Structure 1
Amino acid sequence: MTVTLHPATADDLPALATADGRAFGLDYEPQDLEDLRLIIDPERFVLARSEGAIVGAAGSYALHVTPPGGARSRPRA
């Protein structure tokens, strides 16, 4: 089995959601995918593929943080 790494694209979201759902026991509905599109930036994810199927993923989410004192930080690119 050969595993290759690829940057994710917006077109990968359905397959990424399926792989994520398998790992965490979830079954995403079509509306869930639309909601995920709002928070997932594909450029922040890398996919591991074997024979075309996603077998792993790694990524990060851009989040705002409000530290003590109330100043709001901007997410890093």
Structure 2
Amino acid sequence: MFFKKKGNYNRKAVANGHFATFVFWGLVLFIKGVCELYDKEFIHNSLTILLVGIAIFFITEFISNKKSQANK
């Protein structure tokens, strides 16, 4: 999606990657917010949250692409 030519990617795989990423980010930020209420640290580095989310996107897209290729 990011570096692929227009129309040269599996839209369903990208949608699955987006969904997994935003679910992860939503859960992590919710847990982080709850932990801040009790003065506990969950993940104190936002860059870590960002990089793990991007990794989840690419891994989910890769797995979804492999599953769709196997079904063909």
TM-score, reference length from structure 1: 0.27
Higher strand share: 1
Q: Larger relative CO (CA 8 A, sep 6+): 1 or 2?
A: 2
Higher helix share: 2
TM-score, reference length from structure 2: 0.28
